[in-house]
């Protein structure tokens, strides 16, 4: 299959059935109600922060957060606009299958912020796809109404698309509810008690829900039942494992059990289960290495009489460290024989199979990381992603690779199958060529019809791109247009055609449909057509404000290459510049935006919060400093051991670059960042105190010597401060020498230089960068008389992404910057 990178744009016929406004669209009056509630929340924050009354209330008294009367009108005006951006929905995923008429049907899973409920509203919307009159047309006929997924954690279609599983995880000790739907009706319903297993994982990482090919069994990952806790009465300890609690006894806590850190509070042991959807019988697939945490299960093709399950296993040794965003945790692919079910109906009976019944095979002993397993349609190949570069160096994320195992057809599995490298780690790419694979998960069905080519989204410098990979030859081809600054993300395949989303930082996401055509010169190229849809109809006001704002990706030369030990580290990095069409000599105030990680990327995809800031009148400089994903492994590995210096200098070089080009007024610059971006923000206002008029830091890393003893990823502190050797230096008991080094790499070292007014947004339940880190820095600024504002969100974790918290966070950032960047 020839997959060229050139493309052409066509038009699409749009057949739309009547669509009424959904409940997700809040009336204007609710905006005012929400603003008043927000103001009340700010004025009475000490009451609202009830999670830890004594500690949080003290913070409120230190940093009164009532709204300044001088800026209250600004709050009113900007909150109305921010709500317009908040309502824009997200396409999360999509599935395609064939209808009885032979047409394709696509179902989209969509999410949208519900401010009043402070939750994300989830719903589905479907369309029939049919061919148009010529090669440049295709018809999407949408269903008239979306279907809201109330109380549903996830849905998973069966292989044929004739059924789907709906998972309802409880918020208490109630049973997990599984529903099998088909032909518009509920076919089966099962209630799995907590004594069998806890909530099913739908987190996108441990998550694994897989139908077998006959659609009779479903394998999934769920929390293993918690061990019994001790029971006490007025007479003392009560023998036996009583699960009943009444007024005469109480439950103790029992032994402490490690969890997987940030976002996994209460999650200790992901385990493998299989349900027979005819009988409702559930079996726990117990394995010899019981300490392994399991995830990402898929059914393997049948081998003779045997059926195997393939899954990912993570070892908790030496202890469980933070998992989310950390791909440096060693993991392997394992295979285990699927349990056999008897013919008798025995609903929810949990059979304790002997360990000997489930021999386990480690399929990837020769590589330190293996995840996202997918079998080819013919069952001959098993492909998987690997983050072995992250594991081997200690960087929390790095350049990935793709590998293949030839699945045995003789029914004999070995303890270490031969692993074939398909896409190796790319260290350096010349002239914007493929910079390496940066995908953290494959589609449930990533296969083209040839059976040996897959599709995935990857980071390609400062944009997301869609690529195809031939697993036999290793050839990587760009499917999305390769001469564009826009970002593309694949949602699903429709046969050999592609359903995707294209967006820009200030360009509302749009659906695209791509297919191969033959040109007059006999070249085969991807043709992309617009898919008009009822989902991205944002307000006229928001669309008008964004219509004259442009963006471009700039190449920033490295100022000092004397300390660069690899070719990749000397190559230009990039920054995304967002600004309206120039009018005269006026330059709008500039916000320098910095991503976290540090090994992540700000791609050129749509961001509601940044689009909002651009719409209210700020230009944006979004810097992908060296160490970001998408630029090759050499550039990425140049940063560990040099944080607080190399990345700080790169940001200042990017700022100098646009000032020298006359694109920014050096007297009107603010800086914004979260996590490691907050680390850079607080470093910059300390190391370059005269460059920034205002600053905003979201859950910033300010004192590594403090963080190393309180974070769920203390190893991160060592690797980023010492480089690759930090992996060997890491200890749970840092020496005085280590603590001094960590302190010297931290923004707190430069706090005495800071004079920039700074706002801090902190999540009280953050396990990654506990809010004491940012609070210490804020207190130090207040102590020296720097204008400081602190907002603590009592129920938020590291991302501060609960709808109301995200709303209030960026509303305050906007008003803060407008106050100082007049």
State the Cα–Cα distance between residues 689 and 682, nearest whole angstrom: 10
Distances (CA, A) of 515 to 93, 356, 528: 19, 50, 7
Q: Which helix (H) or strand (E) holds 39?
A: helix 28-43
Rounded Cα distance between 332 and 287, Å, is 14
Q: Find out whether 26 and 116 touch, Cβ atoms under 8 Å.
A: yes
CB 597 within 8 A of CB 569: no
Residue 519's contacts (CB-CB under 8 Å, 6 or more residues apart) are: 525
| Choice among 65, 369, 480, 675 that is catalytic | 675
Write the DSSP symbol of residue 566: S
Helix, strand or coil, per DSSP, at residue 480: coil
Catalytic residue among 634, 766, 796, 806: 766
Q: How many beta carbons lie within 10 A of that of residue 569, not counting itself?
A: 24
- One-letter-per-residue 3-state SS of 152-207: CCEEEECCCCCEEEEEECCCCCCCEEEEEEECCEEEEEEEECCCCCCCECCCCCCC
Measured CA to CA, the distance from residue 769 to residue 293 in angstroms comes to: 24
Q: Between β-strands 497-504 and 487-494, what pairing exists: parallel, antiparallel or unpaired?
A: antiparallel
| Cα 665–Cα 670–Cα 673 angle in degrees, nearest 5 | 140
Structure tokens at 160: 């044929």
Question: Which residues is 210 bridged to in the sheet?
Answer: 219
Taking the chain, what is the end-to-end CA distance rounded to the nearest angstrom?
57
Cα–Cα distance between 572 and 628 in angstroms, integer?
A: 12
650 is catalytic: no
**749-787 CB burial, b ≥16 within 10 A, e <16:** bbbeebebbbbbbbbbbbbbbbbbbbbebbbbbeeeebe
Residue 681: count of CB within 10 angstroms of its CB: 31
Beta strands in 648-765 (DSSP E): 669-674, 694-698, 758-763
798 is catalytic: yes
Q: Measure the CA–CA gap between 755 and 757, rounded to whole angstroms.
A: 7
Q: Which helix (H) or strand (E) holds 249?
A: strand 249-251
Per the annotation, the verdict on 690 as an active-site residue is no
Of the candidates 272, 264, 152, the residue with the CA atom closest to the CA atom of residue 210: 272
C-alpha dist (Å) from residue 269 to 266, 294, 769: 9, 8, 23
Distance of alpha carbon 573 from alpha carbon 562, whole angstroms:
16
- Inter-residue contact 201 to 270 (CB < 8 Å): yes
Catalytic residue among 440, 607, 798, 809: 798
Determine contact, residues 500/491, Cβ cutoff 8 Å: yes
Catalytic site positions: 675, 766, 798
């Amino acid at each position: 299959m020839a997959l060229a990178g050139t493309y052409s744009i066509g038009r699409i016929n749009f057949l739309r059935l009547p669509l009424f406004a959904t409940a997700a669209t809040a009336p204007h009056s609710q905006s005012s109600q929400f603003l008043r509630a927000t103001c009340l929340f700010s004025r009475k924050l000490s009451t609202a922060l009830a999670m830890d009354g004594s500690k949080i209330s003290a913070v409120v008294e230190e940093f009164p957060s009532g709204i300044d009367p001088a800026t209250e009108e600004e709050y009113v005006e900007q909150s109305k606009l921010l709500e317009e951006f908040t309502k824009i929905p997200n396409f999360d995923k999509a599935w395609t299958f064939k209808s009885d008429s032979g047409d394709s049907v696509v179902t989209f899973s969509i999410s949208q912020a519900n401010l009043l409920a402070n939750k994300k509203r989830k719903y589905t919307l479907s369309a029939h796809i049919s061919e148009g009159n010529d090669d440049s047309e295709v018809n999407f006929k949408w269903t008239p109404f979306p279907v809201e997924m109330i109380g549903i954690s996830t849905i998973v279609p069966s292989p044929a698309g004739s059924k789907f599983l709906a998972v309802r995880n409880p918020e208490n000790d109630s049973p997990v509810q599984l529903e099998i739907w088909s032909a518009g009706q509920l076919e089966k319903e099962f209630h799995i008690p907590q004594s069998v297993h806890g909530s099913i994982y739908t987190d996108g990482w441990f998550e694994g829900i897989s139908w077998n090919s006959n659609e009779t069994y479903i394998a999934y990952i769920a929390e293993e039942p918690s061990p019994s806790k001790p029971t006490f009465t007025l007479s003392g300890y009560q023998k036996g494992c009583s699960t009943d609690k009444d007024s005469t006894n109480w439950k103790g806590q029992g032994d402490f059990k490690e969890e997987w850190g940030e976002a996994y509070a209460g999650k200790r042991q992901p385990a493998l289960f299989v349900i027979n959807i005819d009988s409702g019988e559930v079996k726990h697939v117990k394995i010899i290495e019981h300490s392994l945490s399991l995830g990402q299960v898929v059914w393997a093709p049948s081998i003779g009489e045997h059926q195997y399950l393939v899954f990912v296993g993570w070892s908790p040794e030496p202890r469980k460290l933070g998992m989310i965003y950390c791909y440096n945790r060693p993991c392997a692919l394992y295979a285990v024989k699927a349990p056999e079910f008897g013919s008798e109906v025995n609903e929810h009976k949990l059979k304790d199979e002997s360990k000997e019944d489930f021999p386990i095979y480690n399929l990837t002993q020769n590589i330190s990381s293996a995840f996202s397993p997918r079998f080819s349609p013919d069952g001959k190949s098993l492909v998987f992603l690997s983050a072995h570069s992250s594991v081997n160096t200690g960087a929390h994320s790095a350049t990935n690779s793709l590998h293949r195992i030839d699945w045995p057809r003789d029914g004999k599995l070995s303890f270490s199958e031969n692993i074939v490298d398909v896409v190796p780690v790319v260290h350096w790419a010349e002239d914007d060529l493929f910079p390496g694979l940066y995908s953290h998960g494959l589609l449930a069905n990533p296969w083209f019809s040839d059976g040996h080519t897959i599709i995935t989204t990857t980071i390609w410098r400062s944009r997301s791109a869609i690529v195809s990979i031939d697993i036999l030859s290793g050839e990587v081809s760009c499917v999305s247009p390769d001469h564009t600054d826009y970002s593309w993300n694949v949602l699903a395949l429709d046969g050999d055609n592609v359903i995707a989303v294209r967006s820009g930082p200030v360009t509302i996401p749009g659906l695209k449909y791509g297919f191969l055509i033959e040109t007059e010169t006999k070249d085969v190229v991807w043709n992309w057509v617009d898919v008009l849809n009822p989902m991205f109809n944002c307000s006229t006001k928001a669309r008008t404000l964004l219509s004259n704002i442009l963006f471009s990706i700039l190449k920033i030369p490295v100022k000092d290459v004397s300390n660069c030990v690899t070719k990749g580290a000397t190559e230009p990095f990039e920054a995304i510049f967002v600004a309206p069409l120039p009018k005269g000599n006026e330059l709008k105030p500039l916000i320098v935006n910095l991503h976290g990680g540090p090994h992540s990327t700000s791609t050129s995809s749509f961001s509601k919060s940044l689009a909002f800031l651009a719409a209210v009148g700020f230009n944006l400089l979004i810097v992908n400093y060296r160490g970001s994903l998408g630029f090759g492994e050499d550039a990425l590995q140049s940063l560990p051991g040099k944080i607080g210096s190399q990345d700080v200098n790169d940001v200042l070089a990017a700022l100098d670059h646009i000032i020298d080009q006359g694109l920014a007024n050096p007297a009107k610059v603010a800086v914004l960042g979260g996590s490691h971006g907050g680390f850079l923000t607080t470093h910059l206002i300390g190391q370059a105190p005269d460059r920034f008029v205002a600053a905003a830091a979201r859950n910033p890393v300010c004192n590594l010597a403090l963080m190393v003893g309180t974070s769920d990823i203390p190893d991160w502190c060592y690797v980023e401060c010492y480089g690759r050797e930090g992996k060997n230096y890491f200890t749970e008991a840092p020496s005085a020498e280590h603590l001094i080094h960590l302190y010297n790499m931290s923004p707190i070292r430069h706090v005495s230089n800071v004079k920039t007014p700074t706002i801090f947004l902190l999540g009280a339940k953050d396990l990654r960068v506990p809010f004491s880190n940012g609070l210490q820095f804020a207190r130090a600024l207040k102590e020296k008389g720097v204008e400081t504002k602190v907002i603590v969100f009592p129920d938020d974790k590291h991302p501060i992404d609960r709808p109301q918290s995200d709303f209030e966070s960026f509303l305050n950032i906007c008003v803060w910057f407008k106050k100082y960047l007049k």
